[in-house]
Chains A and B, each alone.
Chain A
Amino acid sequence: MSAIETAPLAGGARAAGPSEFRRLLREPSAVIGATIVLFFVVLALFAAWIAPYEPNAPDWMAIRAAPSAAHWFGTDDLGRDVLSRVIFGTQASLAAGVVSVSVAVLLGLPLGLVAGYFGGVIDMVISRLADALLACPFLVLAIALAAFLGPSLQNAMIAIGVSAMPVFVRVARAETLVVCTEDYIAAARSQGLRDSAIMTGQVLPNVLAPVIVQATLTMAIAVLAEASLAFLGLGQLPPAPSWGSMLDVARQFLGEAPWMAISPGVAIIALVIGFNLMGDGVNDALNPRR
C-alpha cells in the first residue's frame, strides 16, 4: 500500500457550487466512481435485507463448501456464507473510510488553517509536527498506533485518521497561505473583523475544495489501511465480518477453499477503485487548472 499522496493539482481548486456539481456530473470517472461507492453504501445500509444468511451463523454441514446455488461465494472454515460476510463486511470498510477521514479532516483542517493564517512560530510548530508525522510511513504509524491503542475497529479508525492527518494540515495550510494574500481578506481585516471570524467566514469556505478532493482520495487509502490492519489482526475483531480478517483466515485454507480468498479481495479492489475514480473526478471538476 502506498503512502498518502496529496492531490497533485489540488491547489487552486475553488469551493464547490452548482456549476462545479454540474461539471462533476460530466466527469465520467466521477460518475463511475460515485456509482460504485453508492452500490457499496446501499449494500452496507441494507445488509440485513440483502444478505442471504446471517453473517456469523455457522453451518457445520457446509464447512468450506464450494460456490453453489445455495452459497454463491461458497462457505468458510466455520460453514458461514461468504457472500453474506462480504456484504456485512462493507459496513466496516465504509465506516473506516468515512470515520478515519473525518478524524483526519477534523484534526488537520483547523491546524492547517491556524498555521497558514497566523504564520510565524505557530506555523513553524504545527508544520514541524506534521513533518514528523509524515516522516513515519503511513501504514507503519497506523500499525504502531493500533498496536498501542489495542486491536478494535474503533482504534483502527483513530489510528488511520491520525496517520492521515498531516496531509490535511499541509493541504489546508498551503491553500490558506494563498487565500490570505487575496484582497477580500485584507478588506475583512481592515473592517476590524476578528481573526476567528475571518478564518471561519472568509478563509475556510475558500480552502474547502482541495480538502474535499484530498478527503475523497484518502478514503481509498483508508479502506486499504483498514483492510490491512484487519488482515494483521489489528482491526475489526472476529467473528464480526471484515474483508481484511476474512482474507487472513482464507490464507490458511488456500489449497482446500480458494473461494474464501477471492470475493473479499475483489470487494476491496472495487471499493478502492470507486473512491480513486471519484477522487480523480472531483479533482478534475473542482480544479480549474486541469
Chain B
Amino acid sequence: MSTDRGGGRRFAAPEARLGKPVPRNRTVRLAVLGNSVQRAAASGYPSSRSSALKRRIVVGGLVLLSLVLITVSFRSTALDGVQGTAAGILRPFEIAADRVSRPFRDAAGWVHGLVGAKSENEKLKRQIDDLRAQLVLDESALQENVLLRQQLAYKEPPSLVNFERRNAAVLTNPQSAFDESITIAAGTADGVHAGNPVIASSGGLIGTIDRAWKSVARVTLLTDGQSAVTATDLNNPAAVGLIRRGNGSGDALIFDRVPKAPNVEVGNIVITAGSLGKGTLPSMFPRGLQIGTVSSVSNNDIDTFKTIQVDPIVDFSALESVIVLVPKR
C-alpha cells in the first residue's frame, strides 16, 4: 500500500494481475469463461484424444473393408478357403463351450420335462401297446415284401440303403429369427458335399447341405423359406406334394400342391417321395424319410389344392447331432 499525491491511499496492485484488456462488446459468456478453457492433457478416452479425422478414417476403413468382404464373399469363392480354415480353428472352442454348458442345459431340460412327465408317461404307454400290435403286422408284411422283390428281381429307386451315414455334431444354431441354417462338424474331408440330405438320429428329415468346407459344413433347414422337398402321405401314396415352410414364425410346415382328390387325414405321416419318375432329374432325397405328421387339413372351394399343415417330426430348436446321408459310390 502507498500514498498518492492527494494524500489518499491506493493499492499497489501490479498491472499484470488485471489481465488482458477486455473488449467493450464482450458477452456475458466471454466474460465468465473466456474464449476457451484449457485443461491439462491426460490419458483417458483413446478416442477423445484422436482427432475427428482419425476417427473418420478408422470407421470409414472398417466399413469399406466390410463392404469388400461382403462383395467378395457373396460373389466368389475366393474367401472360402480362409473362412473354412478359420471356422476349423474355431471348431474346438465351440465344441468345448457346448460340452461345458451341456450339463446345465440337461439339468434345465430335466426340470422342464418333469412338468408334463406323468401325462406323457401314460400317453407313451398307450402308444407302446398300439405299436406292439402294429409291429407284428409290419414284420409279416416286410418278410412278404422282401420275398416278392426277390422273386420279381425288382429294381427300386434309391433308398436309405444306398447312402452312407456320417454322424456330426451341431456347432452353431440359427443366429436370428429368420436364419434357418446350422453349422456341423463334418465337411468335404468326410465326404460331405452340397446337396446331401441331413437327417436327425430319429430318422426325421432336417434339411440339406448348403455349402461344405474341409471340416465344417452349413445345413439349410427344412424350415428355411428356400427349402422345398417332394413328399407324399405314407397312408395315401397318391397324395404327392411339396413340403415347404409355413407362413407362421414357428416350425410348422405346409404340404402344398396336393390335389383335392386324395384323402389326407389328420395324424397321417408325411415322408419324402424320392424320385417319382416324372422329372428329368432324380431327387436328392431317398424315398421314405420321415418329415412330420399332418396337423390340419382344409379344403377351400376357390383353391385348386388342399391346405395341409404338417408338424415336423424333428425339433429344429434342439439339434445336437445330425446324420448326413452321403451317396454310396
Q: Do A and B bind each other?
A: no
